[in-house]
Amino acid sequence: MKHVRVAFLVSTLVTGGAERQLQHLILNLERERFGSRLYTLRGPGPIGELLAERGVPVTSQLGPGKPPAPWVPLRLAHQLKRDGCDLLYCLDHTNAVVVGVLASKLAGNLPVLMPVHTTGQWGRDSIPKPMRMVLGGVHKLLAIAEAQRRYLIESEGIRPEKITVIRNGIPPLDPKALPTKDEARAALGLGPAERPVIGILAMLRPEKAHENFLEAGRQLLDQLPGAAFLIVGDGPRRAALEELAARLGIAARVHFLGVRTDVPQILPAFDLSVLASHPRVETLPLSQMEAMSLGIPVVATRVGALHELVTDGVEGRLVPHGDPSALAGAMIAILSDAETARAAGEAARLRIHSDFTAQRVARETEAEILAALQSS
């Protein structure tokens, strides 16, 4: 059976959800059948460097300008032909998609697959105009959830036959390889009286609605005065959120941890993982999957495709967005009953291990790669 060479094209690979999903995909493809090469328009980024360390060939700086120079598609096409690539997988970075589609034509009409990782974006569509202009050259869009597929069809006008759904997945975390709850809390400087511990993993951007999380935290402290809140991530709203925590009188209970490269080491400290996001952008977050894989229940807003991951009342609770009181009530309902929390955590762990693994994503993507090659 023919060995398939898959070219993965990105602008760069910073540490974001879409980029981490690509990392998991590349590392879980069947190496006996599929060869992977990574191409970046700019630098490789932290994830690109990690992939190179794991033996993935990486070619960087193919088109570092913003936008890339007009000759970049030709340069990439020569590289693809020289490396004998059979198919191009473009991450949904606008410049990478435009350059990639043009290069695929110049390289002999290579089929192109493109995942879509957002359900809308803050102030624009998931598929912005430059991407839409070359969409005819994309063989299939790979949605990461059923709800996102419906959004793309109904709100952005994408033809249904253009979209295949491959839901996100992760390598489930192994608790035996991680600190215990007490060890993780001690490493973060949390005292034994700071319980329960509630965490939120999200960049500090408007669409993540951290202000609702903080307001819910203020309400929760009325009933669970020992609670501590961990905010993992950084971004342009940090100063405003720190000021809000002070105004709410909860600054001493809120720990802003910034960007962390050791999130799996932090997660065991959590009793509950929370997501307060706005409906735009959020789809199927890896952060919640990782927490769930360790048996941590979830409270999240009912946005994007969260309902495909969390069944309300089973693995956690789903609440309306923009309602801090509902968020606080759901958190209290889980944390104030040990058996409810235990059952939700176990259901969360089983959900990830059965339905949301990186191995499943890789097998389904391999099937799409072969189908694209057969029809091209």
Helices 94-106 and 72-82: crossing angle in degrees, nearest 10, is: 60
Using CA atoms, how far residue 268 sits from 174, 299, 375, in Å, is 11, 16, 46
- Strand pairing partners for 298? 273, 316
Fill in the amino acid letter for 69. Answer: A
CATH code, 4-170+357-375: 3.40.50.2000
Domains in the chain: boundaries: 4-170+357-375, 175-355
In which band, very low, low, confident or very high, does the pLDDT at 1 lie, cut at 50, 70 and 90?
Answer: low
SS (H, E, C) 227-243: CEEEEEECCCCHHHHHH
Q: Provide the pLDDT for residue 268.
A: 97
Q: Compute the mean pLDDT over every residue in the chain, rounded to the nearest whole number.
A: 95
230-241 confidence digits (pLDDT tens): 999 999 999 999
| Residues whose CB is less than 8 angstroms from the CB of residue 305 and which lie 6 or more positions away in sequence, other chains included | 119, 144, 145, 146, 147, 148, 167, 283, 284
| Mean pLDDT along residues 74-85 | 97
Q: Provide the pLDDT for residue 194.
A: 82
Tokens of 35: 């060869």
246-275 confidence digits (pLDDT tens): 999 999 999 999 988 899 999 999 999 999
Measure the CA–CA gap between 201 and 291, rounded to whole angstroms: 10
Q: Is 239 left (phi over 0), alpha (psi -120 to 50) or beta?
A: alpha
171-204 confidence digits (pLDDT tens): 999 999 999 999 999 999 998 878 999 999 999 9
Residue 78 pLDDT > 70, yes or no?
yes
Q: What is the DSSP string of 117-151?
A: --BSBTTB-SS-HHHHHTGGG-SEEEESSHHHHHH
| Mean pLDDT along residues 113-135 | 89
Taking residue 118's Cβ as centre, other Cβ atoms within 10 Å add up to 22
9-43 confidence digits (pLDDT tens): 999 998 788 999 999 999 999 999 999 999 999 99
Q: Provide the pLDDT for residue 17.
A: 86
Q: What percent of the chain has pLDDT over 90?
A: 89
Q: Cβ(184)–Cβ(191) under 8 Å?
A: no
In which band, very low, low, confident or very high, does the pLDDT at 280 lie, cut at 50, 70 and 90?
Answer: confident
Per CATH, the architecture of 175-355 is what? 3-Layer(aba) Sandwich (3.40)
**One fold for 4-170+357-375 and 175-355:** yes
